[in-house]
Structure 1
């Protein structure tokens, strides 16, 4: 809207200068000429100075559009009156064609460039045409041909506007669908299809950003890594479908314990999982991790109507800028703790040193 109106204001001013300049006696209509020049110059300046709001909320943008349309309508009314005066005054007879061509050009541009709000666009076109049509109706015997031509062209413009309005909103709807489809594909590409947790791709993009934010703001960031103990044995004894069911049930159990909105739950690959916990000190992260380990060891998982004993090994750590120069260094500390928990007998939580 703003881009298209900035250019139009220049042509209104230029058209008026041509209409006034090629009249029979420009010097004899100095007051009228300067008043018209001042008006269209002010409309041009108002369009250029009417900047978009700093806060791009829907309410602010709607208010901006309302005000901008008022500027457009004021300019259209000004030109409609200028064209009507050129048709009425004998002094403007030499430049009547310039004024008429201006009305045709401005109304055509309006129909094809501003179909977004059809009702407001129709009003703008009528403001361009009605004053001059009123004068032509008053001078009907003399200006019959021009009046009929402008009426027919006005009808064509309204039909063209209706079509442009439909095409504009159809294009907008298609672009919105493409954006939503792209977002959906992006979300699917970052989600593990089996567990519906974030996948390794999401972890690789999320983890460095969270580490950078923790370093910049000085806030704690905890990471818990989990590995299902003896998962290969489950696949071998119960089959891969049971293994998949085990992974899904394990992820659901994670959601029940690590259920804060800020926690990011991820499947990093195979039977290894992770939880990113921003603004969480190590003690709080360890308490949740230990709760998860204890409940899993106590109750196991229900699989095909029978209880399956299951345990997990965990490594937990909190980002420390003195120890972790990079996100990779932080991950390695926690990953080493996980492997230490497995080496020490599994079904335990080890802290990153």
Structure 2
């Protein structure tokens, strides 16, 4: 059957739950943003090597760099993020960054060697464009983790800039231009990081608001129990489950006796506290996963309880009646001790009947009013 309380619905995101959602979102986002990058590292290394004529015969440096990039690309594309497990999420993020750094360092070392060995050439120009693209993509794509994004971007670009400065004086204008580009990358990374988390905060706030609205749409604002509309849906579903599994269930309706007198004598604030008191009793008695509790009227409550037979359902109702009778509501602020009783009606459904949910509810409702009209504080079976 269906669980009775609001935990069936999405809960508003807050506290540790929100932090976990952020980590999960960042984890999934890092994976999604790294699907294309590994392939471009491989293609760029391959084309750069071919332009430098390193493929015939195969240069050991070219072959090693290409092999490492292919292995890392396969690892990055096949290692998928976990679901909602903080330890595993953190492990994935660390593993992911190890893959990214491996790709960056391998490419940077290979291209720095190209710069050192070949200077101005078609391989140099193609590799230069690729390096600028990689370093720029790193600060944008991986901005959720700012320090790592900046570190990887600098690891990608800075070694080749240093090689140009130290060993290729003819490329001084390129070196100077790239040196000016480095602070731009850092500033861009910071801005992207800020924009990313502003967007993420807005998204989570919207999700939390929608989740809260969803909870409010199916629950009673005072007691937190299901409301009448949602209970009717759950009742119909519970009956279908009984039909499919050939099991039984009891529908218990109860009305607090003389509740109007409590409101008139002590005020509605005490009346509300009595309703909350009644809710606590119901939750204590019907605490199984399959029990469904709702507030279906002002002082009326309904319970769906799995039962093997009608006697078992009636025993549950009798126990509820006894607990109500022996558990008065004590209001310390009003110095009031109120004995609260309930008139209870039961209708049993065995899964083989042709009754509708509405007919079952009416039967239990009639039994409840029979209990109330015959002296109150009674349990009557339909």
TM-score of the aligned structures, taking structure 2 as reference length: 0.76
Give 1:249's aligned residue: 274
Structure 1 window deviating more from structure 2 (149-158 vs 185-194): it is 185-194
Structure-2 change in CA distance of 1:163 and 1:350 (3 Å)? same
The aligned length equals 347
Deviations 1:225-280 (A, max 9, x none): 11244666x49x938x8467435414413413542544544210233211344579
Aligned pairs (5 A) from 1:5-20: 5-20=34-49
Give 1:52's aligned residue: 81
Query: C-alpha separation between the residues in 2 aligned to 1:296 and 1:334?
Result: 19
Deviations 1:271-324 (A, max 9, x none): 321134457976565445335435656887789767778653211245421236
Q: Is the 8 A contact 1:340 1:350 kept in 2?
A: yes
Structure-2 change in CA distance of 1:34 and 1:305 (3 Å)? closer
Give 2:13's aligned residue: none
Q: Is the 8 A contact 1:210 1:278 kept in 2?
A: no
Residue 94 of structure 1, aligned match among 122, 145, 149: 122
TM-score of the aligned structures, taking structure 1 as reference length: 0.81
Structure with the bigger RCO (C-alpha within 8 Å, sep 6+) is 2
Structure 1 window deviating more from structure 2 (171-180 vs 94-103): it is 171-180
Give 1:337's aligned residue: 367
Query: C-alpha separation between the residues in 2 aligned to 1:279 and 1:147?
Result: 81
Q: How far did residue 144 of structure 1 move?
A: 2.1
Structure-2 change in CA distance of 1:298 and 1:127 (3 Å)? closer
Q: Is the 8 A contact 2:138 2:153 kept in 1?
A: yes
Give unpaired runs (5+ residues) of structure 1.
none
Query: C-alpha separation between the residues in 1 aligned to 2:140 and 2:110?
Result: 23
Q: How far did residue 5 of structure 1 move?
A: 1.0
Query: C-alpha separation between the residues in 2 aligned to 1:11 and 1:217?
Result: 55
Structure-2 change in CA distance of 1:146 and 1:306 (3 Å)? closer
Q: Is the 8 A contact 1:229 1:346 kept in 2?
A: yes
Query: C-alpha separation between the residues in 1 aligned to 2:326 and 2:80?
Result: 64
Q: Is the 8 A contact 2:345 2:371 kept in 1?
A: yes
* RMSD, aligned CA: 3.5
Structure-2 change in CA distance of 1:108 and 1:306 (3 Å)? closer
Q: Is the 8 A contact 1:338 1:350 kept in 2?
A: yes
Aligned pairs (5 A) from 1:126-275: 126-139=154-167, 141-211=169-239, 221-229=249-257, 234=261, 238=264, 242=267, 245-246=270-271, 248-256=273-281, 258-259=283-284, 261-262=287-288, 263-275=291-303
Give unpaired runs (5+ residues) of structure 2.
1-29
Structure-2 change in CA distance of 1:292 and 1:37 (3 Å)? closer
Q: How far did residue 204 of structure 1 move?
A: 3.3
Give 1:2's aligned residue: 31
Query: C-alpha separation between the residues in 2 aligned to 1:42 and 1:326?
Result: 62
Q: How far did residue 328 of structure 1 move?
A: 4.4
Query: C-alpha separation between the residues in 2 aligned to 1:154 and 1:178?
Result: 36
Give 2:90's aligned residue: 62
Work out whether 1:84 is the aligned partner of 2:112: yes
Structure-2 change in CA distance of 1:8 and 1:306 (3 Å)? closer
Structure-2 change in CA distance of 1:325 and 1:17 (3 Å)? farther
